[in-house]
Amino acid sequence: MNRVIALLFIFSYLFTPVIFAHGHQEVKLNDSFGEFVFITMGTDMAQYTLEKHNKSNQLELLESASDISLMRVPVAFLDEASHVAHENFNRCGGFMLHKNIHEAQKELGAWDVRDFAKNMPFSDYEINQEDKVSSMIAQVRESNISQMIKKLSSFKNRYYQSKTGVESQDWLFDKWSKIGQGRSDFSVKKWKHADWEQDSIVATIKGRSDDIIIVGGHADSVAGWWGRERAKAPGADDNASGIATTTEIMRILVQSGYRPEKTIMFMGYAAEEVGLLGSKEIAKDFKQNNKNVIGVLQLDMTNFKGSDWDIVLINDFTNENQNKFIGRLIDKYLPGVTWGYDKCGYACSDHASWTSQGFPSSMPFEAKKSQSNRQIHTSRDTISQSGDNAQHAQKFAKMGVAFIIELDI
């Protein structure tokens, strides 16, 4: 089957012919309307899309399973689907894009796997590492997080098809590599995606066991609707904040000399904004290779304090037991920090990729979804929206350190 190179060139501003596997036929994606791809999205979003955006009658609902639906849409509609997810449903990703209908149907039918990932305990959720955690969270530095947010948001955009989107990931690779210099158990690699240029970046602290704890977030950014390669998309909150927070967690573990029992992995995913493509590929690879992932923490937007709760735990398409564990971590180690639960919807962010593969994932978010940052996906998503500091994000860094240490027993 040909590679889904089409994912690189789905927008009308691009003219180089590319190929997409449509069933058993090869079709050119940039022929605009008339050529179709398969996406899964929340049934609520699918119904809204059919009612409001099907004027040409080219959108087709193929199947629904509870709160997830499978649609066949023109390639040229993918930008509009992303716009609907962002503007009408406050979902960063909003849908999963699939190589063919068979992959899409497998995602739609994976209820047993998803229920297992949502409801089962995957680890010992006892909290008994107070001395280690307290010492390490005291090392969190707001200035490190804010400086990195500013650096990442200085790129014109971090779009998965743009030159600056590639360059920003090269910069992140170098940044993470420098953090781990001098440690033989630390490594960083570029996860090459065959179907687009932007790499995902994966850093690893090798533990004594093959059990894996993952902390990460998406590294790409978008703004506007069309022509995203050329748009100004600083993406300070979405999601330079999550990558900067992840980096601070990594720095503390590495530079404190912490030697983990389990293997700790940090990930900066490519191409989240266009269908969770990077995390979807990585999670699928981990499943196929029988990796034992015991916990995934998704950090997607950590620095905009939009509501009375400091940390909001997304409780749909995530693991219930792990969410409760995180709530207890906040109560234990972040006195005065308030938290609660909210829903985000299907394919809201990269945690959904891990849940779909049967791994336990959680997504602590910066605000209630109805009160989240309204400047994301615009040129105004700068750190000025958060008072030119990372005081809110440092709470997530402390929580992330506690998450890793308490799971790593």
Active site positions, annotated: 218, 238, 272-273, 300, 377
d(CA 54, CA 47): 10
The residue type of 284 is: K
* DSSP reduced 3-state for 138: coil
Bridge-based pairing of strands 263-269 and 293-298 is unpaired
| Helix (H), strand (E) at residue 84 | helix 78-89
